[in-house]
Amino acid sequence: MQVAEHIDELPGGVACVTFATPALIKAFEREMDLPFPILGDPERHAYRAMGFERASWRRVWLDPRVWARYAVLLGRGRRSKPVDQDLLQLGGDVVIDPEGRIAWLYRSEGPEDRPAVDQLLAAVRGAG
């Protein structure tokens, strides 16, 4: 299950913030056809403000949890593509309430670490 499948049910809006360059964002938008905007933060101001850190090389490339996640994605037909981005930068998920305050924050501890979709949807509905 993906959040995009539930967009119409959610109060408020959804956006993706990435540190990718505008050219990469445009290519991603064409490829993915997502029902929400992708916003660029190449200087990573939002990343720092939310406390999204960078992982160690060891955590990204040698952790069995990462390889297990990649195996699942490959099993679903996803293929790896060359990346010219910072693979050590971690992200997360943020829910902002109608007053503009952070209602929920999830900081990823590794590239495979994501909240469950149900958990994220509950946070969005709770903040609405």
pLDDT at res. 27: 85
pLDDT range class, residue 40, cuts 50, 70, 90: very high
Q: Give per-residue pLDDT as tens, 64-116.
A: 887 787 788 678 786 666 566 788 999 999 999 888 899 999 999 998 898 99
The total number of structural domains that make up the chain = 1
pLDDT at res. 47: 95
pLDDT, averaged across the chain: 85
CATH of the domain at 42: 3.40.30.10
Phi-psi region of 49 (alpha: psi -120 to 50; beta: other; left: phi over 0): alpha
Range of the structural domain that residue 25 is part of: 3-127
Q: What is the mean pLDDT of residues 43-67?
A: 90
pLDDT at res. 10: 77
Phi-psi region of 16 (alpha: psi -120 to 50; beta: other; left: phi over 0): beta
- Which of 3 and 115 is assigned the larger pLDDT? 115
This prediction has a pTM of 0.77
Q: Measure the CA–CA gap between 37 and 126, rounded to whole angstroms.
A: 22
Work out whether strand 38-40 and strand 16-18 pair parallel, antiparallel, or are unpaired: parallel
- Which of 46 and 126 is assigned the larger pLDDT? 46
